[in-house]
């Protein structure tokens, strides 16, 4: 015989559960109030009795940063003086001189790496390679890049003097600049490639980037584009609403793109496409890599879930968290994780579990064996956790030790600076190549600087040698080890010859950027890009494209 609970018992049970929840909530509030009281008491005692005067702003800000570091890297406090950083992240706008900068170890100061065309630094005559000596009379030698960046930024219309040491000149040069509002374009380049393929490089999801994307797609279609490549590689994301608008360009009205779920009711939202799309038929490839994150993963994942695009590249970063900003007393802002997002198939791409931080401060990653299977609109199998898995993963070549060190040491950057001093112009990016003569000059440039670097293989051999000696085999393999030690030393000529193709691409990319800007750099890089070549082949093969978007039996 079945036992049924009487209504009275059900009401009693519900009352007990409500009472338990209320008790737990009250206890939590009590503990929070107690700890805030402890913190307040400590600050007061330090202010009254500490041997020296304390700096309350600096001390409390550090305390806030330490507290937030126990949550996730996206929950960050921006005091009033740093609120411009948050504004730049969301709008892509800031006030400054309009140039990227980097610390140059050999020069022990910050150098300009790319003055943007039409911006204050460019208009004043500053060039890539100029080493900044002082700003408004204050020396910046040895100063961090962040500190120099803070000095370069300011209110629009304010002026500053920048003194630089330019390669090829003996005297220092001083330039007078006026800061302007700088708006970084969300789309760095778009154009027709390989006959009838529209290529779009989307750099960020800042304000109005969806409008820029719409304009790019429309213009490319007018120019004859029959398919598209949307490049989201190294795009760290941005505004959620812009991502949804971009998906809406290719997906019909009324489709759910993202669902967010958080602790409070206001964090639970469903975002649908609200407009008529501009293209639901043209084949699309979306390029991704390990730095494709957040809003970029929403676009890539939604187009994959709707079987609207083929994803090519390497697995994305895996950021499935949503942040909102709240004003804080004193004029600052708290950017805080308030929800997780779920794309059309129902999966969340979050890779790291910040609720379980290991003792050393590291977070655990969701193993592939524990991820769950979801289905796309057509029934294809996709998984949650660990980012977006591409439909095609071209086997990319690993970066050699030589290439890595040339980039880190800024050797290619410095050679490009000297190249520009000797050459007034170069061929267009689409046809420019590094001649054998220029490559030989680069080799001599490195030799004159006595360029060298550490070989990973030599380090590993040294470690192996120690292990062999500990295990008592030192004398037995002594001759072999010594033979390897003699061979595993930097032979610059051999390395430059063996990796000549890679080094030439590196040189050409930097040189083209100096003459033709970011647009020229992208045009050149497309010629050597493995993912791009794979995309061209796929978009020309309609049968294979459709097979990838169809569920496997």
Angle among Cα 319, 321, 323 to the nearest 5 degrees reads 125
- What tokens appear for 360 in the block? 């050393």
Give, as one character, the DSSP assignment of residue 286.
E
Q: Are 306 and 377 in contact (CB under 8 A)?
A: yes
- Burial of 97 from C-beta contacts in 10 A (0-12 / 13-18 / 19+): buried
Angle among Cα 98, 102, 108 to the nearest 5 degrees reads 130
DSSP 394-452: --PPPPPHHHHHHHHTTHHHHHHHHHHHH-S----TTT----HHHHHHHHHHHHHTT--
Query: Who's near 44: CB < 8 A, 6+ residues apart?
Result: none
First to last CA, the chain: 47
- What tokens appear for 284 in the block? 């699309």
> H helices then E strands: how many in the chain?
17, 22
* C-alpha of 386 from chain center: 16
Alpha-carbon span 402 to 452, nearest angstrom: 9
Q: H helices within 449-528, ranges in order?
A: 456-470, 478-487, 492-498, 500-526
φ, ψ at 495 (rounded to 5°): -65, -45
Alpha-carbon span 103 to 112, nearest angstrom: 9
Alpha-carbon span 403 to 43, nearest angstrom: 51
Residue count of the chain, please give it.
Answer: 553
DSSP 99-111: EEEEEETTTTEEE
Residue with tokens 């050679």: 415
Helix, strand or coil, per DSSP, at residue 68: helix
Alpha-carbon span 89 to 105, nearest angstrom: 28
Angle among Cα 157, 159, 164 to the nearest 5 degrees reads 140
Q: Which residues are catalytically annotated?
A: 294, 305, 319
Give, as one character, the DSSP assignment of residue 392.
B
Bridge partners (DSSP) of residue 261 are 340
Alpha-carbon span 37 to 31, nearest angstrom: 10
């Amino acid at each position: 015989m079945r036992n049924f609970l009487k209504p009275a018992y059900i009401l009693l049970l519900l009352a007990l559960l409500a009472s338990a929840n209320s008790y737990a909530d009250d206890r939590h509030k009590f503990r929070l109030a107690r700890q805030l009281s402890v913190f307040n008491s400590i600050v007061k005692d330090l202010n009254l009795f500490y041997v020296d005067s304390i700096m309350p702003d600096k001390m409390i800000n550090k305390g806030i940063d330490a507290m937030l570091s126990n949550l996730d890297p996206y929950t960050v406090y921006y005091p009033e003086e740093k609120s411009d950083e948050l504004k730049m992240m969301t709008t892509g706008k800031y006030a400054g001189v309009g140039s990227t900068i980097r610390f140059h170890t050999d020069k022990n100061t910050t150098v300009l790496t790319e003055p943007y065309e039409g911006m204050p630094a460019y208009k004043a005559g500053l060039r890539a390679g100029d080493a900044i000596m002082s700003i408004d009379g204050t020396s910046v030698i040895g100063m961090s890049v962040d500190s120099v960046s803070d000095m370069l930024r300011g209110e629009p219309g304010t002026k500053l003097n920048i003194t630089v040491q330019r390669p090829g000149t003996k005297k220092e040069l001083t330039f007078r600049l006026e800061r302007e509002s700088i708006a970084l374009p969300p789309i760095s380049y778009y154009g027709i490639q390989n006959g009838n393929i529209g290529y779009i490089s989307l750099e960020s999801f800042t304000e109005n980037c969806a409008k820029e994307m719409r304009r790019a797609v429309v213009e490319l279609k007018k120019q004859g584009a029959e398919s598209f490549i949307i490049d989201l590689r190294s795009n760290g994301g941005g505004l959620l609403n812009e991502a949804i608008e971009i998906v809406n360009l290719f997906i019909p009205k009324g489709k759910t793109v993202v669902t967010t779920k958080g602790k409070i009711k206001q964090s639970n939202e469903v975002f649908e496409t609200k407009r008529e799309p501009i293209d639901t038929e043209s084949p699309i490839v979306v390029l991704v890599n390990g730095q494709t994150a957040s809003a970029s993963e929403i676009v890539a994942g939604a187009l994959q879930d709707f079987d609207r695009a083929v994803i090519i590249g390497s697995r994305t970063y895996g950021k499935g968290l949503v942040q909102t900003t709240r004003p804080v007393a004193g004029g600052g802002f708290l950017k805080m994780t308030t929800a997780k997002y779920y794309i059309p198939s129902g999966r969340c791409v979050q890779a790291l579990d910040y609720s379980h931080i290991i003792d050393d401060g590291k977070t655990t990653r969701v193993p592939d064996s524990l991820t769950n299977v979801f289905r796309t609109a057509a029934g294809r199998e996709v998984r949650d956790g660990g980012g977006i898995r591409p439909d095609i993963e071209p086997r990319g070549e690993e970066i050699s030790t030589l290439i890595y060190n040339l980039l880190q040491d800024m050797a290619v950057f410095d050679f490009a600076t000297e190249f520009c001093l000797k050459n007034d112009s170069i061929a267009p990016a689409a046809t420019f190549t590094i001649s054998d003569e220029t490559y030989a000059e680069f080799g001599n440039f490195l030799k004159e600087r006595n360029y060298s670097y550490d070989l990973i293989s030599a380090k590993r051999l040294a470690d192996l040698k120690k292990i062999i000696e500990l295990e008592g085999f030192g004398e037995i393999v002594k001759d072999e080890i010594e033979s390897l030690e003699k061979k595993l030393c930097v032979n610059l000529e051999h390395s430059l010859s063996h990796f000549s193709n890679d080094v030439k691409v590196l040189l050409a990319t930097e040189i083209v950027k100096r003459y033709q800007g970011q647009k020229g750099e992208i045009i050149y890089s497309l010629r050597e890009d493995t993912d791009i070549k794979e995309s061209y082949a796929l978009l020309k093969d309609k049968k294979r494209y459709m097979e990838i978007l169809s569920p496997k039996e």
